[in-house]
Structures are given as structure tokens and as C-alpha cells.
């Protein structure tokens, strides 16, 4: 609390960046965990809650006529703009938020204070929701060729690896130790995925410390053992996911890549995914493009191209496809590494797993995959997501790219995934929000030391409880093309801009009616109908048999012919014109001077009138408010709850704090 200079500021403006008409005035509160804005003159529904841990940066802008603007950029790509009447208030909030959004110690993170009123037992139980042991046994492990090595139980061989690791049974402890000494950070080759059908595996490690000529017998034996643990194949692939130049440069530092001459029967392959710094800059550019206000088509497409983002996504997908094809089609095992083996390696292994195994295309399966390939194998969440104040150079959207690869796959295979886009976005949000303990720290050891399981809650049961929201209504697991290996096209035009993630909070940019929501409503309704039908059939049977006296006629869930799905879709939004006129204002400046006045008066009366019209279904249709120059007009309803508080990010909800 000592960081809060100003717990409350009145008469702050919250600017809706898509439409000045929806700007509202209210009170800003700073708490230890949230920034809260409460709109004036309206009931509780009009609140905006922002977790400090989601704040990426806070920027003061130059004072304008209306006051002193403060922009808050969030890690979930929300951009919030406040305008303060007093410069000192603006500055105080700026200083407070700058500090609050950059915690120095883990203990300051929200997950340590988040207390959802559940018992200790239940909280501990939440951590048992996923069980990696069960996951390996689902794959068919341990078996006669693979077993868990106890070598890293105390995290002594590799402190960024999990305690339990699968290695070939034939490998002795000294070989593991030897191999780990020959690998960056001790990350020796170990199993990530095992294909029951043909015994091919995906293994992962970090780069070998080969320099220009060094070799390590144990490491060579290790690879040999991995190869041999796949009895059907005569060789294995070693995939270095880095561009060849980067890998070569590493040799000068005593690191590098495998020399094919030293290892028996390996096929070595570079895949050319760029490093975390390139990815960070690329996403930065992408975010800038996504945040452009009314860009031209050319600006947008050029920006998209210059960001290089989709090129990177494509390269990750191609790497995943290469590996999954090697495993499924050739039956060949693959060892994947990059430099440290916790970024590109995690991406590529998990993309390959999603392509290979339908299980990872289910809700539970994706959760398990996150726990396995990312959390347990030491993806450096704290560094990459910038949970704590620290090296800006360590931040990188590695995990975003994995989520996006899944999304791109969902676009190509609409029936292959049990979960929908909202699930991915929700996970994305929670990775950054520090609301739950799962994605805190950089390794399993750190989490153990911090007693994460004792002090925080796990996200997975929470998502599971809300799984109805995350289901893909089109999911058809029994269809042949959705079983086994997915073979996505990697033609450039198959990669699209992920509007739902990057423009998540710009609701005017999304389709006004959602196919997904409609189908989900229908499915829900269908389920009710099935229940009702069963009930009636039962009653009919009873009637037939016993000639029951009376029949309680229950009013059915669905009496009307009106389909439900077309109704709830925020009809007021469906009916909002946006800015179609911008080109015109520049072109003929003085034609609409009269209207300018009308606009202002309309704006003024708007504020007095908000709550009343906010409930009207299609108030804008009858509004007749002449607003020709802003043209985001018409919609007088306040931004509904959804627009301010995202429904799936419950951490911004007032009830959960």
C-alpha cells in the first residue's frame, strides 16, 4: 500500500478509444491489486477493473484541452486511456501505477493475495487436478524401454528441469550426468512425447557444448540410446530450431550443435526460428499495427508484413509439422533443441504434439500439455512475461506464439478441437495476470522453493468449471480427418491475423453476430430439449401404462418459434455505425460546420441520459441523433459490461477481488 500515492481521484474521464461518444466520467480508485474506475451516475455495472499485474506500461501523454491523459497498456492488449483534470493527480497515479505494475518480489504478485474463499483442502486439491504421471501413463510410459530416472529428484543435475524425467532404460546414471555436463544448463536429452503406436518419441534438450570440435561420449551414447529405444527405426532426427547462422555463432562460445560425424545414425536439421529478441520486436510492431486508429488497408497490410509476425508463426508451425510427420509418418524419433531448450524447443515440441495427438486438442489435454512442455520443463514464465521488474531483454512472446499456432490450426480444422478460441484467449490472459500460481517463476524448483502450491491457487480447475464457455460446438472427434496427425497447409495465405487476441477489447472490430455464440446457444438449447423430450417420453409411458390421473403440464423451455441464438447478440451493437466519413472531413472541411454544434450538444445530453437508454434493445435505431462527423454515433447505450470487463477475465470482476 505504501506505493499508492493517491487512492482515489474524482472526475476522471475514461476514454473509449474507438468512439469519443462513449467516453464517460467517474471516479478512479487505486487498490493494492487493482485500478478501478467507477462510472458516475450509473449503477454498479459500469465499472472497469484492471489488475496491476496485467499492466505492461503506463504513459503520460501531452496535456490536451480536456486535461491530462494517461495511457495504460496491458499485457492482454487492452489499452485504457484516462484523462485527469489535474496534472498532479495524473502524475500521482502515474507514479503509483508505475510502481504497482512492476513488482520487485514474487510475494507482491496477485496470486499470493488472491483468496477466493475456498478451504485449504480444496486449494491443495486444485493442484492435483492435473497429474503429469497420469499423462505419461496415458502415453504408455513407463514401459520396457523408457523409465523415470531419479537423477534429478533434488534438481541437482539440472535445476530448470522437473524432478521426474523419462529416459531410455538402457541409459546409466553416469551417462546422464555426462550428457548433462555437455549440454547448456545441464538440460540433457529427455523425453517429451511418446507415440504408443510406433514407439517413436520427441525428446528435448539444450544445445551441446560442442564448440568447434569438442565431443562427449556420454552424450553420444545418450542419443544412441534414444534412437535404439525406437526399435523400428535406423536413425533419428536431431532438429536444431535455430537459424544456422545463430547456431554457428554459438560455437565460438563453446556451444553449438551436433556434429553428424560424431553421432551414429542421426540426421541433423536446422529449422530457422528466430530468437526471443527478434520475436519481441516483431510482436511490438504487430501490436502497434493492431492499435492503429482507422488505418488504411495499405497501412495495415504493410504494417502486418513489416512486423514479420506471421512469418515467425509460419516457421514455428513448419517446424512442428516436420517433427510430427517424422514421428507419425516415418516412425522416426526426434531430438529437438535450440539454445537453452526452453523457448523454441517448447514451442516446437508442443505444436508437434497438438498435431500428432488428438488428446491435446481437448480441453484437458491442452491443459496437460501446458503443464508438461511449458511449466514443468522450465519455460521461464517470469522472465518471458515480465512478471517482476527485471531485464526487459528477457521478455518475449514465446507462449503467445504457441497459442497462436493452435489458433491458426483451429482456423484450418474447425472440427478438430474440443476447445474454442475463447479458451486460448483466457489462458493467455491468465498466463500474464498472475492471478493463479501456475505460471509464476521460471522453473519447478523455484516454484517449490516459493511454496506456490501452498500459497496460491491453480488455474486449471477454475477453467474446467467454466468449460461450457470454452467448448467448440463444431467439435467432431470421431471424424477420420480429426483423428491422428493433422496436416495443416503452411502456405502463407493460411496464416491470418488474430484479431480476437490483438484487438480483443476493440469490440467494434469484431463480427456483430457470432457464429460461435449462436451455435453454442443452439447446442445448449438442444440439450434442454433432449431432457424435456426424455421427460415427456417418460410421462407418455406412464400414461399409457397406468392411465395416470392428471398430467402436470409443464411449460416447455421453448414455446416460441423464435430461435434463441439470434436474440442475445447485443443487438444494440449490431446496429452501430462506425466512422465511415473520415476521408470526407479532410476533403471538404466546411460543409458540415452546422453539424459540429449538434454533435456537441448531443454529447452533452448523452451523459445525462445514459442509463435509461442503455437498456433499450436498439435505442440507436430510433435515436435520430444527428452526428455526422463522428459517426460512431447512435449507440447511446453505455459500453455494456462485456466491453469494460471481459467476461472471461474474472480477475477484473468486482465480485472476485
Partner 1 sequence: MEFAELIKTPRVDGVDLHRPFMPTVEGTLCLTGHHLILSSRQDNTEELWLLHANIDSIEKRFVGSLGTIIVKCKDLRVIQLDIPGMEECLNIASSIEALSTLDSVSLMYPFFYRPLFEVIEDGWQLFVPEEAFKDLESMTDEWRLSEVNKDFSVCPSYPSLLTVPKDIDDESLCKAASFRHGGRFPVLSYYHKKNGMVMMRAAQPLTGTNGRRCKEDEKLINATLCAGKRGYIIDTRTIAVAQQAKARGGGFEQEANYPQWRRIHKAIERSNVLQDSLIKLVEACNDQSHSMDRWLSKLEASNWQSKVKEILTTACLAAQCIDREGASVLVHGTEGTDSTLQVTSLAQIILDPACRTIRGFEVLIEREWLQAGHPFQQRCAQSAYSNGKPRSEAPVFLLFLDCVWQILRQFPCSFQFNENLLIMFFEHAYASQFGTFLGNCVAERVKLQLSQKTVSLWSWVNRPQELERFLNPLYEPNNLVIWPSVAPQSLLLWEGVFLRWNRSTKCLDEACQEMVHIIEYNKELQNKVNSLRRQLAQLETEESPLQTP
Q: Where is the binding site for substrate, in residues?
A: 275-276, 338-344
Write down the least CB distance from residue 483 to partner 1, Å.
Answer: 13
Is residue 402 within 8 A of residue 355, CB to CB? The reply is no
The span from the CA of 581 to the CA of 631, in Å, is: 7
Query: In which region does residue 117 sit, left (phi positive, over 0), alpha (psi from -120 to 50) or beta (all else)?
Result: left
User: How many chain residues are in contact with partner 1, going by CB under 8 A?
Assistant: 99
Q: Which of 539, 613, 640, 653 binds partner 1 (CB under 8 A)?
A: 539
- C-alpha cell belonging to residue 428: 493467455
Write down the least CB distance from residue 527 to partner 1, Å.
Answer: 10
Apex 126 CA angle, 121 and 127, nearest 5: 105
Write down the least CB distance from residue 628 to partner 1, Å.
Answer: 6
Task: Give residues 611-630 in contact with partner 1 (rule: CB under 8 A).
Answer: 618, 621, 624-628
* Residues flagged as binding site: 275-276, 338-344
The CB density around residue 295, as the number of other CB atoms within 10 Å, is 14
Q: Report which of 137, 144, 133, 199 is spatially closest to residue 170, judged by C-alpha positions.
A: 144
Residue of 338, 385, 434, 441 marked active site? 338
Question: Quick one: which H or E segment has residue 33?
Answer: none
Q: Does 508 bind partner 1 (CB under 8 A)?
A: yes
Only segment of 145-153, 279-287, 360-368, 491-499 that touches partner 1 (CB under 8 A): 491-499
Q: Which of 537, 600, 609, 615 binds partner 1 (CB under 8 A)?
A: 537
Q: Which of 131, 154, 260, 530 binds partner 1 (CB under 8 A)?
A: 530
Write down the least CB distance from residue 244 to partner 1, Å.
Answer: 18
Q: Report which of 500, 283, 293, 540 is spatially closest to residue 396, judged by C-alpha positions.
A: 283
Q: Which of 7, 150, 511, 568 binds partner 1 (CB under 8 A)?
A: 511
Pick 344 or 631: Cβ nearer partner 1: 631
Task: Give residues 339-358 in contact with partner 1 (rule: CB under 8 A).
Answer: none
Write down the least CB distance from residue 482 to partner 1, Å.
Answer: 8
Is residue 153 within 8 A of residue 176, CB to CB? The reply is no
Only segment of 44-52, 202-210, 456-464, 486-494 that touches partner 1 (CB under 8 A): 486-494
Pick 164 or 525: Cβ nearer partner 1: 525
- C-alpha cell belonging to residue 518: 449462436
Q: Which of 159, 330, 394, 525 binds partner 1 (CB under 8 A)?
A: 525
Is residue 369 within 8 A of residue 353, CB to CB? The reply is yes
Pick 115 or 296: Cβ nearer partner 1: 296
Q: Does 518 bind partner 1 (CB under 8 A)?
A: yes
Q: Does 514 bind partner 1 (CB under 8 A)?
A: yes
Is residue 195 within 8 A of residue 201, CB to CB? The reply is yes
**Site track 49-78 with partner 1 (rule: CB under 8 A), x = hit:** ------------------------------
Is residue 419 within 8 A of residue 90, CB to CB? The reply is no
The span from the CA of 373 to the CA of 444, in Å, is: 12
Only segment of 74-82, 235-243, 260-268, 574-582 that touches partner 1 (CB under 8 A): 574-582
Q: Which of 371, 506, 636, 651 binds partner 1 (CB under 8 A)?
A: 506
The span from the CA of 210 to the CA of 251, in Å, is: 7
Question: Quick one: which H or E segment has residue 442?
Answer: none
Write down the least CB distance from residue 629 to partner 1, Å.
Answer: 11
Q: Which of 25, 95, 264, 474 binds partner 1 (CB under 8 A)?
A: 474
- C-alpha cell belonging to residue 430: 491468465
Active site residue 338: yes
Beta sheet of 79-84, edge-to-edge order: 47-51, 34-39, 24-30, 8-15, 79-84, 68-74, 55-60
The span from the CA of 576 to the CA of 308, in Å, is: 33
Beta sheet of 266-270, edge-to-edge order: 190-194, 201-205, 334-337, 236-240, 266-270
Question: What are residue 303's phi and psi, to 5 degrees?
Answer: -60, -40
- C-alpha cell belonging to residue 21: 461518444
Question: What are residue 165's phi and psi, to 5 degrees?
Answer: -135, 140
Task: Give residues 413-442 in contact with partner 1 (rule: CB under 8 A).
Answer: 413-416
Q: Which of 61, 156, 467, 476 binds partner 1 (CB under 8 A)?
A: 476
Q: Does 605 bind partner 1 (CB under 8 A)?
A: no
Q: Which of 11, 198, 466, 513 binds partner 1 (CB under 8 A)?
A: 513
Write down the least CB distance from residue 548 to partner 1, Å.
Answer: 8
Q: Does 165 bind partner 1 (CB under 8 A)?
A: no
Write down the least CB distance from residue 135 to partner 1, Å.
Answer: 27
- C-alpha cell belonging to residue 629: 462527423
Write down the least CB distance from residue 356 to partner 1, Å.
Answer: 17
- C-alpha cell belonging to residue 584: 470526407
Only segment of 34-42, 254-262, 382-390, 534-542 that touches partner 1 (CB under 8 A): 534-542
End-to-end CA distance of the chain: 16
Task: Give residues 282-311 in contact with partner 1 (rule: CB under 8 A).
Answer: 290, 294-302, 304-305, 308, 310-311
Is residue 336 within 8 A of residue 241, CB to CB? The reply is yes
The CB density around residue 215, as the number of other CB atoms within 10 Å, is 16
Only segment of 212-220, 251-259, 374-382, 488-496 that touches partner 1 (CB under 8 A): 488-496
Q: Does 643 bind partner 1 (CB under 8 A)?
A: no
Question: What are residue 8's phi and psi, to 5 degrees?
Answer: -155, 130
Q: Does 538 bind partner 1 (CB under 8 A)?
A: no
Q: Does 503 bind partner 1 (CB under 8 A)?
A: yes
Pick 43 or 544: Cβ nearer partner 1: 544
Q: Report which of 406, 444, 412, 413 is spatially closest to residue 428, judged by C-alpha positions.
A: 406
Q: 642: Cβ–Cβ under 8 A, 6 or more apart, which residues?
A: 507, 570
Pick 118 or 529: Cβ nearer partner 1: 529
Task: Give residues 548-567 in contact with partner 1 (rule: CB under 8 A).
Answer: 548-551, 553, 556, 558, 562-563, 565-566
Pick 64 or 580: Cβ nearer partner 1: 580
- Active-site residues, by number, are 338
Amino acid at each position: 500500500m505504501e506505493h499508492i500515492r493517491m487512492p482515489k481521484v474524482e472526475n476522471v474521464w475514461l476514454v473509449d478509444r474507438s468512439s469519443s461518444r462513449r467516453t464517460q466520467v467517474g471516479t478512479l480508485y487505486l487498490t493494492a491489486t487493482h485500478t478501478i474506475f467507477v462510472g458516475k451516475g450509473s449503477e454498479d455495472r459500469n465499472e472497469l477493473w484492471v489488475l496491476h499485474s496485467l499492466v505492461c506500461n503506463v504513459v503520460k501523454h501531452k496535456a490536451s484541452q480536456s486535461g491530462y491523459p494517461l495511457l495504460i497498456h496491458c499485457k492482454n492488449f487492452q489499452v485504457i486511456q484516462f484523462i485527469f483534470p489535474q496534472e498532479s493527480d495524473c502524475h500521482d497515479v502515474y507514479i503509483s501505477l508505475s510502481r504497482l505494475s512492476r513488482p520487485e518480489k514474487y510475494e507482491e504478485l496477485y496470486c499470493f493475495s488472491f483468496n477466493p474463499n475456498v478451504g485449504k483442502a480444496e486449494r491443495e486439491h486444485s493442484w492435483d487436478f492435473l497429474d503429469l504421471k497420469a499423462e505419461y501413463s496415458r502415453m504408455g510410459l513407463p514401459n520396457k524401454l523408457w523409465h523415470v530416472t531419479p537423477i534429478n529428484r533434488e534438481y541437482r543435475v539440472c535445476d530448470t528441469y522437473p524432478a521426474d524425467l523419462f529416459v531410455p532404460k538402457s541409459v546409466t546414471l553416469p551417462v546422464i550426468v555426462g550428457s548433462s555436463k555437455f549440454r547448456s544448463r545441464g538440460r540433457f536429452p529427455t523425453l517429451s512425447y511418446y507415440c504408443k503406436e510406433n514407439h517413436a518419441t520427441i525428446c528435448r534438450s539444450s544445445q551441446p557444448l560442442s564448440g568447434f570440435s569438442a565431443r562427449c561420449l556420454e552424450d553420444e551414447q545418450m542419443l544412441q540410446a534414444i534412437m535404439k529405444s525406437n526399435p523400428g527405426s535406423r536413425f533419428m532426427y536431431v532438429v536444431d530450431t535455430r537459424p544456422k547462422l545463430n547456431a554457428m555463432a554459438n560455437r565460438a562460445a563453446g556451444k553449438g550443435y551436433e556434429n553428424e560425424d560424431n553421432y551414429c545414425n542421426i540426421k541433423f536439421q536446422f529449422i530457422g526460428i528466430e530468437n526471443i529478441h527478434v520475436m519481441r520486436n516483431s510482436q511490438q510492431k504487430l501490436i502497434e499495427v493492431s492499435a492503429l486508429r482507422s488505418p488504411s488497408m495499405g497501412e495495415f497490410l504493410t504494417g502486418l508484413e513489416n512486423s514479420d509476425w506471421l512469418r515467425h508463426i509460419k516457421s514455428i508451425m513448419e517446424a512442428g509439422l516436420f517433427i510430427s510427420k517424422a514421428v507419425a509418418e516415418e516412425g522416426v524419433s526426434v531430438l529437438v533443441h535450440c539454445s537453452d531448450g526452453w523457448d523454441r524447443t517448447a514451442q516446437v515440441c508442443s505444436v508437434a504434439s497438438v498435431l500428432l495427438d488428438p488428446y491435446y486438442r481437448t480441453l484437458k489435454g491442452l491443459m496437460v500439455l501446458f503443464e508438461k512442455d511449458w511449466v514443468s520443463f522450465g519455460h521461464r514464465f517470469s522472465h518471458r512475461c515480465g512478471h517482476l521488474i527485471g531485464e526487459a531483454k528477457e521478455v518475449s512472446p514465446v507462449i503467445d506464439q504457441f497459442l497462436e499456432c493452435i489458433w491458426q490450426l483451429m482456423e484450418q480444422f474447425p472440427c478438430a478441437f474440443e476447445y474454442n478460441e475463447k479458451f486460448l484467449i483466457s489462458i493467455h490472459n491468465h498466463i500474464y495476470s498472475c492471478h493463479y500460481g501456475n505460471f509464476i517463476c521460471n522453473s519447478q524448483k523455484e516454484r517449490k522453493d516459493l511454496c506456490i502450491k501452498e500459497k496460491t491457487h491453480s488455474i486449471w480447475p477454475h477453467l474446467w468449471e467454466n468449460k461450457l464457455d470454452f467448448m467448440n460446438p463444431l467439435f467432431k472427434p470421431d471424424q477420420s480427418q480429426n483423428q491422428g496427425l493433422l496436416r495443416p497447409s503452411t502456405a502463407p495465405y493460411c496464416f491470418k491475423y488474430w484479431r480476437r487476441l490483438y484487438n480483443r477489447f476493440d469490440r467494434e472490430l469484431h463480427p456483430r453476430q457470432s457464429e460461435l455464440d449462436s451455435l453454442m446457444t443452439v447446442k445448449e438449447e438442444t440439450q434442454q430439449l433432449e431432457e424435456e423430450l426424455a421427460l415427456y417420453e417418460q410421462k407418455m409411458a406412464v400414461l399409457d401404462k397406468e392411465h395416470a390421473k392428471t398430467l402436470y403440464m409443464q411449460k416447455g423451455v421453448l414455446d416460441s418459434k423464435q430461435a434463441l441464438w439470434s436474440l442475445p447478440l447485443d443487438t444494440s451493437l449490431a446496429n452501430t455505425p462506425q466512422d465511415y466519413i473520415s476521408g470526407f472531413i479532410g476533403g471538404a472541411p466546411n460543409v458540415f460546420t452546422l453539424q459540429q454544434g449538434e454533435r456537441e450538444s448531443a454529447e452533452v445530453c448523452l451523459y445525462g441520459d445514459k442509463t435509461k437508454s442503455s437498456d433499450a434493445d436498439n435505442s440507436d435505431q430510433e435515436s435520430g441523433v444527428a452526428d455526422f462527423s463522428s459517426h460512431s454515433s447512435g449507440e447511446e447505450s453505455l459500453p455494456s459490461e462485456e466491453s469494460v470487463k471481459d467476461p472471461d477475465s474474472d480477475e477484473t470482476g468486482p465480485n472476485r477481488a
